[in-house]
Amino acid sequence: MFFFYFHYGNSGYLKNCREWQLLKEIEPFLEEESSGYLIATLDSMNINSDFLYAFDIKDKKLEHHSFLPAELETIQKDVNKYFFKYADTEFRMAFYNQQVVDKKVVDGVLKLTEAHRIKNLKENLHLATKENPLELFFGYFYDGIEFYSKLYNAEKTVFPDINLQTLKEMPYGLSDGNYVIVRHNLVHDYYLQTAGEPFKKVSKSATVYYTSADTVYDEKLCPIKDSDGKSFRLRSEYLGEDKNYIYFLGELILKKRFRGISNQYNRLFQSEHFVVQ
């Protein structure tokens, strides 16, 4: 399933967007058992019959199709299940979840991504100059001397000591195995020396934390003293916990302050409404 959600644009934009142009070229790659649909509407929250375009995938072809009300109900359920269920998380991270995207698709995309990365390094890295830097990943450049980020109107951020030969995209950002780089709000990049593999991003809505095997970090990769990355859980955008702390609305509260005191600790997790005094 492909689902693109744009919170901007108009009917003219959707009819000419790059994603739609690419999807129209999938027919040669369809298998005999391929089935599904391709639709575009200006109200994806409440799918109705007022489509900009609507196609059924059948017999290795895209065919114009008028969906019946029962079919629209099924489409709406699919959208809710496979997309809006994850709206309070980052869908890029959900991509790696095999329950959201078929494992064969994930493996195929990762294989193509890795092949492109290796080819780019072999063929283009030595050609990079300050005048013509090489964009290794979206918004990340190498100019023959420095590896840095430069996105939109943000300040240039240089990352020393990065091994470009092992630098890869991860669900949370980039890692070369010794350093991690994360991007916050599509503007600011933060950089940390830590092992890349156990490093994770944990987020709900606008609330973001990162964890390593033994530490929790805030959205700017600042380590939280005495935190425990292994036991950290984010229960909602307001409430998280590890074995030592309650993380509530950005505040840290020692768990031992509440255990056994009028059952406040349990009520906090049940209601998620607790005023720290």
* Listed residue (169, 115, 106) closest to 138, CA to CA: 169
- The pLDDT of residue 242 is 93
Residue 212: both structure tokens together: 């390593």
Please give the model's pTM, rounded to 2 decimal places: 0.64
The DSSP letter of residue 125 is G
Question: Residue type for 251, please?
Answer: E
pLDDT at residue 66 above 80?
Answer: yes
Burial of 63 (0-12, 13-18, 19+ CB in 10 A): exposed
- The pLDDT of residue 65 is 85
- The pLDDT of residue 267 is 57
Q: Are strands 147-149 and 140-142 parallel, antiparallel or unpaired?
A: antiparallel
| Separation between Cα atoms, residue 109 and residue 173, nearest integer Å | 16
- The pLDDT of residue 262 is 39
Residue 8: both structure tokens together: 């901007």
The 10s digit of each residue's pLDDT in 127-177 is: 999 999 999 998 899 999 999 998 777 778 999 999 999 999 988 899 999
| Separation between Cα atoms, residue 133 and residue 124, nearest integer Å | 10
Side-chain-facing half-sphere of 230: CA atoms under 13 Å: 2
Domain boundaries, the chain: 11-100, 102-196, 197-271
Side-chain-facing half-sphere of 109: CA atoms under 13 Å: 11
| Separation between Cα atoms, residue 14 and residue 27, nearest integer Å | 20
Residue 209: both structure tokens together: 């934390």
The DSSP letter of residue 49 is S
| Separation between Cα atoms, residue 148 and residue 129, nearest integer Å | 13
Buried b (16+ CB within 10 A) or exposed e, 80-115: eebbeeeeebeeebbeeeeebbeeeeeeeeeeeeee
Mean pLDDT of 221-243: 90
Question: Residue type for 151, please?
Answer: L
Mean pLDDT of 217-241: 90
Model confidence band, residue 86 (pLDDT cutoffs 50, 70, 90) = low
The 10s digit of each residue's pLDDT in 95-129 is: 555 556 677 877 888 898 899 999 999 999 999 99
Per-range mean pLDDT, top range of 62-76, 189-203, 211-225, 255-269: 211-225
- The pLDDT of residue 128 is 95
Mean pLDDT of 253-275: 55
